[in-house]
Chains A and B, each alone.
Chain A
Amino acid sequence: MKPMADLATVETIERLSGEKYKHGFITDIATEFAPRGLNEEVVRFISARKAEPEWMLEWRLEAYRRWRAMDEPDWARLEYAPVDYENLYYYAAPKAKAGPKSLDEVDPELLRTYEKLGIPLKEQAVLAGVEGAPRYAVDAVFDSVSVVTTFRDELSKAGVVFMPISEALREHPELVRKYLGSVVPVSDNYFACLNSAVFSDGSFVYVPPGVRCPMELSTYFRINAQGTGQFERTLIVADRGSYVSYLEGCTAPQRDENQLHAAVVELVALEDAEIKYSTVQNWYPGDAETGRGGIYNFVTKRADCREARAKVSWTQVETGSAITWKYPSCVLRGDGSQGEFYSIAITNGRQQADTGTKMIHLGANTRSRIISKGISAGRSSNTYRGLVSAHPKAKGARNFTQCDSLLIGKDCAAHTVPYVEARNGQSVFEHEATTTRLSEDQLFYCRQRGLSSEEAVALLVNGFVRDVLQQLPMEFAVEAQKLVAVSLEGSVG
């Protein structure tokens, strides 16, 4: 839903959250920002603000100290101005009355985008409690804090825990402590380590054994404040035999400076459990001409299929961000577990994306499937980077990978960097990749039938990415399709 957050939604969430405040959901909002920069004091500040238990503070401080000793990775095919970590706000809570109050205050470019999408936002209806609205439970995260979670009562009847992680730390400390950092260790990588030190909010989901979550869960992230980094942390645990589908969406307003987004998502699937995780990412991509501004999206997402026959499916539609560094991965530990990765990555203007997945086969008869569709237009660069590995014990492991790249225009670039590591004699890996351009013949055919060149491109590209769109929950597939068209505007002619 999220990419299409529009003004009304923003207002609705603000209004709802305002009401919550009255009820003591967040009582103290006097301080909007933590001081600029990063030091142990800021980490303590965030932890104190969240009224976290002592062990959590220690965990954060440990992460902070390790992060200080680490170097930022430079192996990805990305070029960007260095991030000034000392000049960021690591914590920003929206004021009760923050947010644009009229259309005049919202960036017209952003509004036009939403208008083009032409979507009365679902979360708007959901949040406003409109009868017959689709039933999603939504957790909205603005800047650093989660402002509202809907449908919580209904979920708790089913035994599903869905709440901001800061709240889960207070209400379910034993669950959080057991699983937090168990998939992405504190010092896994530079950005994950930074996140561990300063993460401010995110969602926590726990689905108890045998429960099929009665509705789609959803988080909506938005970076609003200037000069802020957003460091959300999502932890989803699907206990034995359970099922949950989770959607994540992101937007940010247009700004001249680069904003940092370093999230960590951890998924744990126990025996026979299944998690479906879908992302529609539409952060501000920066100015198409000059490359100014835009989000740096440095995200660590990893799923652990910890027990037999667990299944995790990642689906992502990546159209935004100036820089994307993201490799949603599956550790297939349980025998017979399954991982899937379906991705559409579109870069236009001056965007750069280095994205892909890792499928680590550890258990016997584990299976994985990777379908990646990359589209580069404008002067952008789009890299697929993936690893498929089978360890000696992963007898009968099976992987199929297909990566296709589409180039639109003379000045863009598409790269494919797959790694295959097979360490036993009973696994089968197949990989295929193609790179082509949008066919002139097909374009001509469409235009001859009266489509504008932009409509023709949108039509052809949607055909190219169909395999992935089909994996999205239906309502989102429709929105994603429109998003594909919008993000490719200006790429031809």
Chain B
Amino acid sequence: MSLAAALRSRDLDQLPSRRDEAWRWTGLRELIRALPPPSPEAEVAPGGPWAEVACDEHRVVNGRCEPFGGLVRLGPGEASTRRLRFVASPEAGAHAARVQVRVEARADLVLLESYEGLGAGYVAAAELDIEVAEGARLTRLVLAEDAEDAVSASQADVRLAPGARLHQSVIATGARRQRIETRVLHPGQGAEARLDGLYVLGEQRHSDHTTSVEHQGPGGLTRQLIKGVAAGQARGVFQGRIAVAKGADGTDARMGHHALILSEQAEIDAKPELEIFADDVACAHGATVGALDPDQLFYARARGLPETEAKALLTAAFLGEVVERIEPEAAREVARAFVEARLRGLA
């Protein structure tokens, strides 16, 4: 049951529905009555939102990844930065893509991933199959910039080896329905996962961050910080699950989700879930949803800032915590500018 499966088979019954617990806030079966025609072949120029970071680029245009065969691979001990762009061209209809990422032992990959909607009304799915070998590092930075009326879902399945490290930061701006899902198999034994995220939503946009981490062995570390703002009639969804299997003792997992609602009609839905089968663990989650603190707003206005500027300042500071954790620096600056531009768009 996934969007990708429905697009490949062009069978609407394969679409996940609100009745599926994992899709309760992002039901697609209720939404999509007919699929657009399959997307044609298309070309796009190199670049994209990560263009300022100089590196090699892999493009998946309208679901096609022929030029690089759908495989991003770093050999043992290699270090590299790559752009991975999923682009829906102006003619795009419906398409699904599948990409494999292999980071071999002790390699270090910075993957600058983007979802770009140049057209309108497309329905797109991306599946990523990611393996990070022993002692290897993957930094996955995602900018999701889908068209307002598009439906887009990305699902990454990540397998970490002992001692591997995943640092992920997702920045999403929503779509008619947008879902970015990451599922991590975590072996513990020195492996580390960081699953950060940020969403800036306006108009009627919807964005769903879903993550699941399965701690299967002892001594694993997971950190998660998701922050988001919703204005207009937008809807932000966060579903985070941390599971600790029997025997995964010494697991240390922390999850935080904090959201601001900036308008009367915006909505935030959250489900931070812990599932624990081992006793020697330290697991915690915190979730808050609220408006901007009126005291802070008053403070800023008392110092002469107009209300809209004061709000923008406080909102940027709120989201800044996630942006500041992004490495490397060049990518952080791109992310910062991206978020600031989106925030200006809300005002």
Contacting residue for B283 out of A424, A428, A434, CB 8 A: A434
Sample of 29 A–B contacts (CB below 8 Å): A405-B274, A407-B279, A409-B279, A413-B276, A415-B276, A416-B272, A418-B270, A418-B287, A420-B269, A421-B268, A421-B269, A422-B259, A425-B264, A425-B266, A425-B291, A426-B264, A427-B261, A427-B289, A427-B291, A428-B291, A429-B290, A430-B287, A431-B270, A431-B288, A432-B287, A433-B272, A433-B286, A436-B282, A437-B279
CB–CB A412/B279 < 8 A: yes
Check: A223 CB closer than 8 A to any chain B CB.
Answer: no
CB–CB A436/B281 < 8 A: yes
Check: A392 CB closer than 8 A to any chain B CB.
Answer: yes
A425 CA to B269 CA, complexed, in Å: 13
Contacting residue for A421 out of B267, B282, B290, CB 8 A: B267
CB–CB A434/B284 < 8 A: yes
In which size bucket is the chain B interface? 20 to 34
| Chain B hits for A424, CB < 8 A | 261, 264-265
CB–CB A407/B261 < 8 A: no
Known: A422-B261, A425-B291, A432-B285. A407 touches B276 (CB 8 A): yes
Minimum Cβ distance to chain A for residue B248 (Å): 11
| Chain A hits for B284, CB < 8 A | 432-435
In the A-B complex, the 8 residue pairs with the closest CB atoms? A428-B290, A407-B279, A437-B279, A431-B287, A420-B270, A425-B261, A416-B274, A422-B289
Check: A423 CB closer than 8 A to any chain B CB.
Answer: yes
| Chain A hits for B287, CB < 8 A | 418, 420, 429-432
Most chain-A Cβ atoms within 10 A of its Cβ — which of B21, B266, B285?
Answer: B285
Which residues 247-278 in B have Cβ within 8 Å of A in the complex?
259, 261-278
Check: B280 CB closer than 8 A to any chain A CB.
Answer: yes
A117 CA to B264 CA, complexed, in Å: 54
CB–CB A420/B268 < 8 A: yes
Check: A186 CB closer than 8 A to any chain B CB.
Answer: no
Check: B246 CB closer than 8 A to any chain A CB.
Answer: yes
Contacting residue for A410 out of B274, B279, B289, CB 8 A: B279
Check: A414 CB closer than 8 A to any chain B CB.
Answer: yes
A392 CA to B282 CA, complexed, in Å: 36
Contacting residue for A423 out of B267, B270, B276, B291, CB 8 A: B267
Known: A419-B271, A436-B281. A405 touches B291 (CB 8 A): no
Contacting residue for B289 out of A409, A429, A437, CB 8 A: A429
Check: A478 CB closer than 8 A to any chain B CB.
Answer: no
| Chain A hits for B259, CB < 8 A | 422
| Chain A hits for B276, CB < 8 A | 405, 407, 413-415, 435
| Chain A hits for B271, CB < 8 A | 417-420
Check: A55 CB closer than 8 A to any chain B CB.
Answer: no
In which size bucket is the chain A interface? 20 to 34
For B292, the closest partner residue in chain A by CB is A425
A424 CA to B83 CA, complexed, in Å: 38
Contacting residue for A416 out of B267, B268, B270, B285, CB 8 A: B285
Known: A405-B276, A437-B281. A431 touches B286 (CB 8 A): yes
CB–CB A429/B288 < 8 A: yes
| Chain A hits for B291, CB < 8 A | 425-428
Minimum Cβ distance to chain A for residue B153 (Å): 21
CB–CB A410/B282 < 8 A: no
CB–CB A433/B285 < 8 A: yes
CB–CB A435/B274 < 8 A: yes
Minimum Cβ distance to chain A for residue B173 (Å): 19
Minimum Cβ distance to chain B for residue A432 (Å): 5
CB–CB B268/A422 < 8 A: yes
| Chain B hits for A180, CB < 8 A | none
A414 CA to B277 CA, complexed, in Å: 7
| Chain B hits for A431, CB < 8 A | 270, 272, 285-288
Contacting residue for B286 out of A405, A422, A427, A432, CB 8 A: A432
A410 CA to B281 CA, complexed, in Å: 11
Which residues 382-425 in A have Cβ within 8 Å of B in the complex?
392, 405, 407-425
For B244, the closest partner residue in chain A by CB is A435
Q: Give me 15 other A-B pairs in contact (C-beta within 8 A), A416-B285, A435-B281 excluded.
A: A75-B21, A410-B246, A411-B246, A413-B275, A415-B276, A418-B273, A418-B287, A426-B264, A426-B291, A428-B288, A428-B290, A431-B288, A433-B272, A435-B284, A437-B279
Minimum Cβ distance to chain B for residue A383 (Å): 9
For B236, the closest partner residue in chain A by CB is A422
For A414, the closest partner residue in chain B by CB is B276
| Chain A hits for B275, CB < 8 A | 413, 415
| Chain B hits for A411, CB < 8 A | 246
A418 CA to B238 CA, complexed, in Å: 12
| Chain A hits for B264, CB < 8 A | 392, 424-426
A434 CA to B290 CA, complexed, in Å: 21
Minimum Cβ distance to chain B for residue A132 (Å): 47
Q: Quick one: CB contact mask for A195-231 with B, threshold 8 Å, 1 for yes? A: 0000000000000000000000000000000000000
Minimum Cβ distance to chain B for residue A394 (Å): 12
A414 CA to B281 CA, complexed, in Å: 11
